[in-house]
A and B are shown apart, each in its own frame.
Chain A
Amino acid sequence: MILARLQAAYRDYLLSGNSAAVAPAIVADAFDASERLGIHRNNFLISLRAALKANFPVTLRLVGNGFFEQAAYRFALAHPPQRPCLFEYGAAFPDYLQALPELAAVPYVADVARFEFARVAACHAPAEEYVSADSLAGLEPERLDAVPVRLARHARVVAVTAPVLELWKAHRKPEADLTAIDMAPRSHALLVCRPEHSLLAREIDTAAALFLAAAGAGSSLGLAAAQCHAQGDAALGRVIRLALELRLLANPGTP
């Protein structure tokens, strides 16, 4: 079998468990082909399960090890990684969890997972050139449209309805005490960012969320600022100050 076809047959087997196409290429002796191939399928699924556990530690605690492992196993088969950096693996896991009927009664789980993935992404984001206060000094307000910006890679805005920060904080202790947490749904936005080496996570107001969403969509400073104006005159100054302090804006011209 030519190598490309053999590797495609492995792929079909690893994702489906059906070894019919690849088994004839494997020497059968004391073990048959499916027993030998099973070692590799096991490695594939167990290692991805471990990667998801590492990226979603509080989600794991919320649903319990048994359920997490089953969900991670099914997720790995449905959404295997496309790239070898496993700290980037699991972007689709929160939506996958949200769609599971077993979790319909605990919608906060998917929100916590969204937050955890944002944390991992922020932790590993590469450094880049940020828009600084100096670069904006002396800029006339009408020239803001000419300043292109994008959201820095270390910054993520996560829209949630569950009390994610409280849940996450409670689960940093060995015994999580949830009794004082108000679980009533409330739409809000969380900013997760790593301006230097320390990760920050905080709730942001609507003006900041709109501004950062516009920046995230690859906007100009003027267009992003326009999103803020509807939230009141004081909002823009406050949001720009936050964005500069936390290095949330990057120059789109840099890689």
Chain B
Amino acid sequence: MSTVVFLEHHEGELLKGALGVLAKAAALGDDSVAGFIAGADVEELAAEAGKYGAQVVYVADDPRLAAPLPQPRVDVLASLVRDEGFDTVLFGASVLAADVAGGLAARLEAGLNWDLVDLERRDGELVGKRPALGDSVYVDVGWRDGPRIALFRPGSFEPEAGGGEPSVERVEARIEDFSLAATMVEQAHEERTGPSIEDADVIVAGGRGLGAPEGFAIVEELAKALGGAVAATRAVVDAGWYPYASQVGQTGKTVAPKLYVAAGISGAIQHKVGMQSSNVIVAINKDRNAPIFEYSDLGVVGDVHEIVPKLTELVRERRGS
């Protein structure tokens, strides 16, 4: 069996989600685990991929791949999979990765299973695990034959450093005309400090219970003290209190950090599906009957405006900062 992992990158760094998938692929004990990097001036990322377990890194370095758009990547990856005979192609989910995986499935007439949280080998066959129907049931999914394509939910696997120097293979980018029809006019970036919510080990999330947009200041302070990222519910994003990129839930991101602190979040099902696979959940809410208390490890009934700043202070003391 031979696996290639789509290694997405942003501003000169490989994404943690993709590196986690690379670690998973290596742990499955494949004959060889390869990474695929597409972009412009990206060759130096290959060494980084090696550190995280890629034995071979295929690099498509081409100015036409500079913008993070899916269709040219489908062309190059489809040729690579065919030419090298890969039977498994794995992706850490993202806006870009989902579009590449979907296009690749059609191009190769290959099976795509999405939203997986795990992958294992059972009697020689790969079996994926997919939470479904609001994570109320876990479905074992498989593939008829190769190539098998999978998209993993963010936070499913931890990256593991400890690899070596990879062998780097340059890939020629043969791109179809229709794949170049969509063009990037402006690649914008929201101002952000600290890790993104996909990459963070700790997430502090705020909801309506913060009372006002200014209420997010206490959430930001706590996130900073814990070295984490800030997330928000759909209600407050819709209300314009916080940017969409931070939205967790059914219409936002699905995250699974080591610690999720929910401040002033009632935890309706739409939010729950985006964060319930977090390792440890701590919730603070003034309503004793808030649904979030049903699936938190520690629930605190109280006022976020009193508890969160105090907690921030204690965390700072404890961490000596």
- The answer to whether A and B interact is no
Binding site for A on B (CB under 8 A): none
Binding site for B on A (CB under 8 A): none
